[in-house]
Amino acid sequence: YKKADIRCYCGGHFCRTCAGCSDWKRDGNNWKRVGNGCHLSHSSSSVHNQSIKATTSFTTLLEQLNSNANVQLPYILPYENTGRKNVTTKYDFTRAVVTIAHLIPLKNEVIVASGFAVLDGGLIVTCAHTFYQAARHLSCSELDQKSQSIVITDEGELIPVATVESHLVRSDIVLLRLQGGRQIPSLAVDPYPAPKSTSLLSYNFVTASLTSTSRPTISYSWKPAEVLFYKGPCGQEATTGTYDELSAMMYSHPPSNGSSGGPIVNEETKSVVGIIRGSEVNYATRKSIGFATPSECLFEAFKLPGMPDGLE
């Protein structure tokens, strides 16, 4: 099958393609993506040769998706709608973007998504649906302790995922803790929805390569886009600045395979305003457009500023 042909229902919207749920199969000694778009090539043992041994299996991470559903973390995510003074170039904010690979070696499968770091750089934000896509390749009878999820940084470093800290079910958001207390540069997050026609930069995953003799390399680009409109939980058009619930931000650039979970930043402030989820067809224009979770939804996983401890 081809991943580009898979349609899903999420967040009240039908007929969507999950962006970035890149599916890979082994062809000889190389990994290749099934379908159009990106591909990953590496020797069959290179991931295990290069990566630090994970203490948490993929099966355990799946269990944590349920046990930590809608958990509020004991941290405050700063309101950074004006961005950061030290972030001025694309390189400055690309360092916080990662590729996430779910490895299922017993089935020779690798599912790839994107993500980005927040707070002190030890928490990674990504999408949940790629976990469930990878889970389809597991069987209850398998001893799957070799399965794992790893984060590939912009510099090519491999860091295993230690835990799923929180899973915002309705928003398709997962927060992951890096193994060993590792930290990477983080991104500013805007707590307010970007108004219609706001100029954006959308992360666009292209390819990833991994060999046993060199560090992984990630090819990517930042695609210019703009906010088109918002949708509510039932698919109806929603308006910013009102009491409407904003479940999805529709934007002009359809994301590539492998981009799911990656950031969309305000072109001016460089703050994150959306988390990539997929694409759908705008039947009014008959063109494919992107849809994302508004960044304001991410704050549901954190304490509100000024709220006392123990108050739910």
* pLDDT in single tens digits along all 312 residues of the chain: 233 322 333 333 333 455 544 444 333 333 444 333 333 444 334 454 454 566 788 989 999 999 999 999 999 999 999 999 999 888 889 999 999 999 888 778 889 999 999 999 999 999 999 999 988 887 654 556 678 899 999 999 999 999 999 999 999 999 999 999 999 999 999 999 999 999 999 999 998 887 767 788 899 999 999 999 999 999 899 999 899 999 999 999 999 999 999 999 999 999 999 999 999 998 888 889 999 999 999 999 999 876 666 555
- Residue 54's pLDDT is what? 62
What are the C-alpha distances in Å from 210 to residues 43, 45, 49, 72, 157?
8, 10, 11, 36, 11
Instruction: Provide, rounded to the nearest whole percent, the portion of the chain with pLDDT above 90.
Output: 60
Task: State the pLDDT at residue 285.
Answer: 84
Give how far Cα 222 sits from Cα of 88, 111, 205, Å.
14, 22, 9
Query: What are the tokens at 170?
Result: 């309705």
- The half-sphere exposure of 70 on its side-chain side, counting CA atoms within 13 A, is 4
Tell me the pTM: 0.83
**Cβ neighbours of residue 19 under 8 Å, at least 6 residues apart?**
254, 255, 256, 257, 259, 260, 276, 277, 278, 279, 290
Contacts of 126 (CB under 8 A, 6+ apart): 100, 113, 114, 115, 116, 173, 174, 176, 260, 261, 275
**What is the structure's pLDDT at 217?**
87
Dig out the tokens for 173 from the structure. Answer: 């958001």
- How many CA atoms within 13 Å lie on the side-chain side of 162? 11
Domains of the chain: 3-73+91-181 (2.40.10.10), 199-302 (2.40.10)
Residue 263 and residue 275: Cα distance in Å, rounded? 5
Residue 50's pLDDT is 52
Scanning the structure block, which residue is given the tokens 């159009």? 36
**pLDDT tens digit sequence for 32-80:** 443 333 334 443 344 544 545 667 889 899 999 999 999 999 999 999 9
